[in-house]
Amino acid sequence: MDTLLATLTRGLFWFIRLIPVRLAGAIGAGLGRIAFYCDARHRSISIRNLTRIYPQKSRAWRRRIARESLAELGRNIMEIPHVYLRPKSFLLSRVNVQGNQKFSEALEKTGLFGVAMHHGNWELGSLMVSALGHSCDLMYRPLRGAWQETFLRQLRQRFGARMRSRRDGLRWLGRVKSAKACVGVLIDQHMGEGVPVPFMGHLANTVNLPAKLALRHGMPMYAITLERMGRGFHFNMAFRNIPQPEITGIAELDARQFMQQAHHLFEPIIDKRPEMWLWSHQRWKLLEEHNKDITEVVYGTP
C-alpha cells in the first residue's frame, strides 16, 4: 500500500508541475477559501488569533483575513510540486534576494542560525538557502508516514540541504560552527517546552534553542524572510541580521531577549500583509491554557 501511495503522490506532483504555477496557485487559493467555510475548527482558531492581535479591526476584516490566510495556505500547497520539481534556474528567477552578501560573509566566519516563520511560501524559503549555494542544516518535524517522510525529505534535500529531524537529537550541532553552515529553524509555532516570549504583543511559548546556542558559541542569528509579491509566484527574500540584546550574563534571560529581538523583526512584516501568515495555528496556546493576557504577566516571570 505504501508503494502505491508513494507512486500516486509522485504522479500527482508531476501532474501539478505541468500546470502553470500561477494557475496552480489560484486553484489552491480557491480550495483554501472553500476550506474556510467547511473547516470550522481552523476557521475558529484563525478568527480567535486575529481578534487577540487586532481587536480594533472590524469583525468583517478579521473574517476576510482569516479566509485569505487559508487561501494562502492552499496556494502554498499547490505550489509545492513546482518548488520541488522545477529546476534551480526557474526558482532563482522568481526570487529577488537581498542581504545575501553579508549573510555569506557571516557564514564564512562562524556559521550562523537562520530563523524563519510560516509567512509566504515557507517551503520555497527553506529550499532557497541551499539553492543559493549555502551549506545548511534544516531542523524540522518529521511526517508520521514513512513513505511521505522519505519522499519529501529527498525533495527538500535536492540542492544539498541536510534535513535534521527532531528525533535525531542535537549532537550534530557541535559540528555546525566548524562546517560554517546555517542552521534553519521555524520559530512561530507553539512549543510545549518552549519559553514565554512576547510575539505580536502577547506571550507565546517559543523555541529558544537558536538564541541559546548562538550566544553560547558566539554565532550570529539571521532572520530569513520571503514576502510574496502580489498573488503570483514572485517573491522578495531577505537575510537580516538580528541584533544581539545587551548581555546580562543570565543565560535564560539573554536567550529570551534575543528571541524577542527576532520576533520584533518579523512583526511589521506580518502587520503589512497579515493574510500571508498562518493564523490557523494555535500560536498563543499558552494564554488560552492559562487564561492570561500579556498585561497580566510580567515579562520573564510565570
Q: Does residue 182 surpass a pLDDT of 90?
A: yes
Instruction: For strands 95-98 and 195-199, give the pairing.
Output: unpaired
What are residue 58's phi and psi, to 5 degrees? -75, 160
Q: Is residue 293 predicted with pLDDT exceeding 60?
A: no
Which cell numbers in the block locate residue 102? 553579508
Residue 180 reports pLDDT greater than 90: no
> What are the backbone angles phi and psi of residue 236, rounded to the nearest 5°?
-110, 120
What does the alpha-carbon distance between residue 237 and residue 41 come to, in Å, rounded to a whole number?
A: 32
Mean pLDDT of the chain: 90
Out of 66-75, 137-146, 171-180, 258-267, least confident range? 171-180
pLDDT at 295: 38
Question: What's the pLDDT tens digit per position in 62-79?
Answer: 999 999 999 999 999 999
Q: Is the pTM of this model over 0.85?
A: yes
Taking the C-alpha atoms of residue 116 and residue 189, their distance in angstroms, rounded to an integer, is 11
The pLDDT score that the predictor gives to residue 157 is 93
Share above pLDDT 70 across residues of the chain, in percent, rounded to a whole number: 95
Query: What is the model's pLDDT at position 291?
Result: 66
Residue 35 · residue 248 · CB < 8 Å = no
Q: Determine contact, residues 293/270, Cβ cutoff 8 Å.
A: no
Please list the alpha-helical segments (H only) found in the chain.
Answer: 2-18, 21-38, 40-53, 59-85, 88-93, 100-110, 122-131, 146-156, 176-179, 209-217, 251-272, 285-290
Residue 38 has a CB neighbour count (10 Å cut-off) of 10
Query: Which of 68-77, 101-110, 171-180 shows the highest mean pLDDT?
Result: 68-77
| Boundaries of every domain in the chain | 2-286
Nearest CA among 280, 275, 281 for reference residue 29? 275
DSSP state of 52: H
42-50 long-range contacts, CB within 8 A, separation 24+? 42/70, 42/280, 43/70, 43/280, 45/279, 45/280, 45/281, 45/282, 46/70, 46/279, 46/280, 49/279, 49/282, 49/283, 49/284, 50/274, 50/279
Which tens digit of pLDDT belongs to each residue from 15-43? 999 999 999 999 999 999 999 999 999 99
Q: Average pLDDT for residues 98-122, to the nearest whole number? A: 94
pLDDT of residue 5: 76
Report, as an integer, the average pLDDT of 75-86. Answer: 96
The candidate with the shortest Cα–Cα distance to 166, out of 129, 136, 135, 141, is 141
The 10s digit of each residue's pLDDT in 232-268 is 999 999 999 999 999 998 999 999 999 999 999 999 9
**Confidence band of 299 (pLDDT split at 50, 70, 90):** very low
For residue 294, name the pLDDT band (cuts at 50, 70, 90): very low
Query: Contacts from 40-43 at CB under 8 Å and sequence distance 24+?
Result: 42/70, 42/280, 43/70, 43/280
Q: What is the largest CA-CA distance in the chain?
A: 56
Q: What is the pLDDT of residues 266-292, one digit of tens each?
A: 999 999 999 999 999 999 998 887 765
Q: Is the pLDDT of residue 300 over 70?
A: no
**pLDDT mean over 104-114:** 92
Question: Where residue 152 falls among pLDDT bands split at 50, 70, 90?
Answer: confident
Round to whole Å and give the CA distance between 238 and 207: 22
